[in-house]
Structure 1
């Protein structure tokens, strides 16, 4: 698996309220997407970004980070082979990503994702 990007997922009670703070105070003014329950905002100057998540539309837990990879199927196979707990099965989601969640040995839930074009 080759990691191409890691994004912090901040669990918030209300995405719109959180977005107002993080875009206003931190200057994360480029909205990459907003699905209502999750939104990603990015700094136009540095590319720093933050994903705001109130819940997950299909998974039972909110991840702490999203790890973008170029081979999510291979990552899933490796995670299963290594015996990691799969929290959300490998799924092609309606909004265009293919992903799964696993629990790291420290308990952190990680969203491993491939953004399909």
Structure 2
């Protein structure tokens, strides 16, 4: 398993209100996707990125970061072998990603995710 990207997940009460700050003030001018409860904003000039979420739609807890990997199945197996707490089971979501949440020893919840072709 190889980590390919790490994205901060920022919980906000209102996505529309947050868009103005992150797009206009910080220059994250590209909206990569919007699922209504989560959106990813990226800068077209620097590649800086953040995900904004009001609350995860399919998990009981919200992650602090999303860790993109090249093999989510291997990442899941290794997390279990190491005895880490799985907060959200390995799931293929309707929007085309496979993911699970794992709690780091410090308590941080990470969304470990692999984008599937066509997502």
> TM bucket by the smaller chain?
over 0.9
Aligned residues: 117
* Structure 1 unaligned residues grouped into runs of 5+: none
Q: Which residue of 2 aligns with 1:17?
A: 17
Q: Which residue of 2 aligns with 1:111?
A: 111
Give me the whole-angstrom Cα distance separating, in 2, the residues matched to 1:68 and 1:11: 19
Displacement, 1:23?
Answer: 0.3
Q: How does 1:65-80 map to 2 (within 5 A)?
A: 65-80=65-80
Q: Which residue of 2 aligns with 1:88?
A: 88
TM-score by length of 2: 0.97
4+ residue runs over 6 A deviation = none
Give me the whole-angstrom Cα distance separating, in 2, the residues matched to 1:102 and 1:16: 29
Give me the whole-angstrom Cα distance separating, in 2, the residues matched to 1:50 and 1:18: 11
Displacement, 1:14?
Answer: 1.1
Displacement, 1:73?
Answer: 0.3
Q: CA RMSD in A?
A: 0.5
Query: For 1:68-104, what per-residue CA distance to the aligned partner results, in whole angstroms no more than 9, with x for missing partners?
Result: 0000000000000000000000000000000000000
SS in 1 for 2:90: strand
TM-score by length of 1: 0.98
Q: Which residue of 2 aligns with 1:99?
A: 99
Q: How does 1:56-67 map to 2 (within 5 A)?
A: 56-67=56-67
Give me the whole-angstrom Cα distance separating, in 1, the residues matched to 2:88 and 2:56: 11
